Amino acid sequence: MKVTIVGCSGSFPGPDSPASCYLLEAEGFRMLLDFGSGALGALQRHIGLYDVDAICLSHLHADHCLDLCGYHVVRTYGPAAPYPRVPVYAPADAPRRLADAYGMPDEPALETAFDFRALAPGTFEVGPFTVTAGLVNHPVEAYGFRVAHGGRSIAYSGDTGQSDELVRLADGVDLMLCEASFLDQPDLPTDLHLSGRQAAEHAAKAGAGRLVLTHLVPWHDTARVLDDAAHGGYDGPIELARSGAVYELA
Ligand SMILES: [Zn+2]
Ligand SMILES: [Zn+2]
């Protein structure tokens, strides 16, 4: 499995990265985890415009889903349109919410380009990947994911506050993509986001092989986020996510 960080900026795009988007590839199949603001542009550095085979959306905040609107244009009006519909695994409200964001009348909405499938906690197959979705702690319906292929696995937190479910999803994974939106300080809000220290604590409990801190908010000093994570009791390698970074898990 090959993992490419397309976008890792938290809450809105930054100068060097779009918002959340991760490209997973195996056996010629290409799946996106999240498709946040700006990701459609940077995605084209890595794969062709029409090469997306499936999309999983962790939740329906703009920084995780909004570029699905632009991608609807690509697949509905591109030079050889119509292109095959792409399965989109997302919270059940996604078709209406994204049609509203697009400014689309009720019918045919975005279904000309996408085959929406409502997420629920559990495990399902997407192409060659085994995907497990679990509810995490955020103000809206939000999922974290575990993705396995060929004996390797990753976990992606989506957006979450402290979460036992995230620890379960990340149990023994090779690579954990964990959000670290907050600078660490006392009395952080609950059920919203994690600090670098909390991300590292989750990685330690899960026994993850490698921790990549992501959803990095542009107004923060990322060196501070990394330093916070060094105080989370995790003894594996820790690094900051970077748009364009590639991890080959074989
Ligand atoms: Zn977010
Ligand atoms: Zn969010």
Nearest to 142 by CA among 165, 123, 125, 124: 165
> Which residues sit opposite 54 in a β-bridge?
31
- Segment 235-241 mean pLDDT: 98
H helices of the chain, where?
39-43, 62-65, 67-77, 94-102, 164-169, 196-206, 222-229
Whole-number pLDDT of residue 178: 99
Backbone Cα Rg of the chain: 17
pLDDT tens track for 64-118:
999 999 999 999 999 999 899 999 999 999 999 999 999 987 666 899 999 999 9
Q: What is the pLDDT of residue 52?
A: 98
Ligand 2 centroid to Cα of residue 72, in Å, is: 22
Indicate left, alpha or beta for 122 from its phi (over 0: left) and psi (-120 to 50: alpha): left
Q: Determine the pLDDT at residue 40.
A: 98
Cα of 11 to ligand 1 centre, how many Å?
4
Ligand 2 is a single-atom ion; what residues have CB below 5 A from it? 61, 159
3-class secondary structure, 167: helix
State in Å: Cα 63 to ligand 1 middle. Answer: 5
State residue 45's pLDDT score. 98
Q: How far is the CA of 238 from the centre of ligand 1 (A)?
A: 21
Q: Ligand 2 centroid vs 171 CA: distance in angstroms? A: 23
Residue 59 CA, ligand 2 centroid: distance in Å? 7
Dist. CA 61 → ligand 2 center (Å): 5
Percent of the chain with pLDDT over 70: 99
How many Å lie between the centroid of ligand 1 and the Cα of residue 4? 18
Average pLDDT rounded to a whole number, residues 13-20: 98
Task: State mean pLDDT over 209-233.
Answer: 98
pLDDT of residue 109: 83
CB 239 within 8 A of CB 216: no
pLDDT in tens, 21-70: 999 999 999 999 999 999 999 999 999 999 999 999 999 999 999 999 99
pLDDT confidence of residue 82:
87
- For 155-174, write each residue's pLDDT tens digit: 999 999 999 999 999 999 99
Cα of 11 vs centre of ligand 2, distance in Å, is 7
Kindly identify the ligand whose nearest atom is closest to the C-alpha of 215. Answer: 1
- For the segment 181-205, the average pLDDT, to the nearest whole number, is 97
- State yes or no: pLDDT of 201 exceeds 90: yes
Q: Compute CA distances 95 → 17, 67, 146, whole Å.
A: 26, 14, 24
| Mean pLDDT, rounded, of the chain | 97
In three-state secondary structure terms, 32 is strand
CA of 78 to the centre of ligand 2 (A): 30
Residue 152 bridge partners (DSSP): 149
The rounded Å distance from CA 134 to ligand 2 centre is 15
